[in-house]
Structure 1
Amino acid sequence: MGSFSIWHWLVVLLIVVLVFGTKKLKNIGSDLGAAVKGFKDGMKTGSESEPATTATAQVGQDKAAEKTTIDVDAKTKS
């Protein structure tokens, strides 16, 4: 009773996909992967100049993501 079976994990995975959606999970996974890669590169080089260029590249990606976001105001009908 202490461990979960594969069926428990499949049900949990199905609920997570239904709540968040596959697109949001894909974005979270790619962001996490980029963060891990940046961390590994920073640990490998050990210099101060390399993490600054990585941070600049991430800011550029965030600006590109902001261009695809549509901002609207919700109004109620009278």
Structure 2
Amino acid sequence: MSDQDISQIAHLMRRAGFGAPLEELQARAAKGYDATVEELLDPDSQPPMERDLMMRYKGDWVAQAGWKAKKKNGPSE
């Protein structure tokens, strides 16, 4: 793998997230650019989001879930 390959992967990782350490860049460069893009876009290859993080960043999901439950089950009175 060349420095150009690592540079391309580094650019991709900065654009797709928060960058990556050199070891990860080298491993991804060895896999290839296209394989790295496919891996980044495959939701099944990503670890599940922890509930605390989901609640912190996706709090509107909680409100939507409550609203949907009321619509489905009727008033709780």
Query: TM-score when scaled to structure 2?
Result: 0.24
- Asked which structure has the greater RCO (Cα within 8 Å, sep 6+), the reply is 2
